[in-house]
Amino acid sequence: MPPAPGPSGRPVPDLSLYLVTDRRLCGERSLLDVVGLAVRGGARVVQLREKRLDMRALVDLARALMGLLKPFGVPLIINDRVDAALAVGAAGVHLGQSDMPVELARHLLGPEAILGLSLERPEHLREAERFDLDYYGVSPLFPTATKPELLSAWGLDGLAALRRATRRPLVGIGGIGPDSAEAVIRAGADGVAVVSAICGAADPLRAAEALALAVGRARRDLP
């Protein structure tokens, strides 16, 4: 089944389980191996977020990931680096609040690219609604060691309030695991994004399966 169109009219991918990469958390394992296991376990979007890589290494890794993901029909999103996304033909880009301005990224990427934006505080929503975006990352949903610089978390009540304020898809990220994923979906998220819950897991395949099952259960219970 093709992706359903979002509020922008562009097809939005299945955001139910969204993997954000972190090579350091993979330990001695290859990132490609971990991503491959995650996709087999149910990850439906992969975001390449490796801020310590130089441009050449980032492009090489992105190309390898695209080759891995293509048979599964899983899109690759690049964190922040519009130039890298354009260089490899990635599906889109995810921006943080301190990254390239949204309107410039959309201009460079063109009308067909997927473009997501992190919302870190409620006041970010008003400006974001003006832009041509496909989804919001609600960050951090719970306290998380992967983003210690963010001092406050949305929590489930904050997520529910955000759900009431926008029609755009929401992806919760930060401190989410199988035990909390169902509650995140029930509070209004369209999907959950994880880093350490898969990249740092002893068994990435089983971790992804557990998360996908939790999201699926919650989605079936929604009206």
Catalytic residue positions? 49, 118, 147
Within 10 A of 150 (CB to CB), how many other CB atoms are there? 16
Rounded (10°) CA dihedral 24, 199, 188, 107? 60
Is residue 73 left, alpha or beta, with left meaning phi > 0 and alpha meaning psi from -120 to 50?
Answer: left
**Residue that is written with structure tokens 């490796």 in the block:** 50
Q: Which residue has the tokens 């926008």?
A: 166
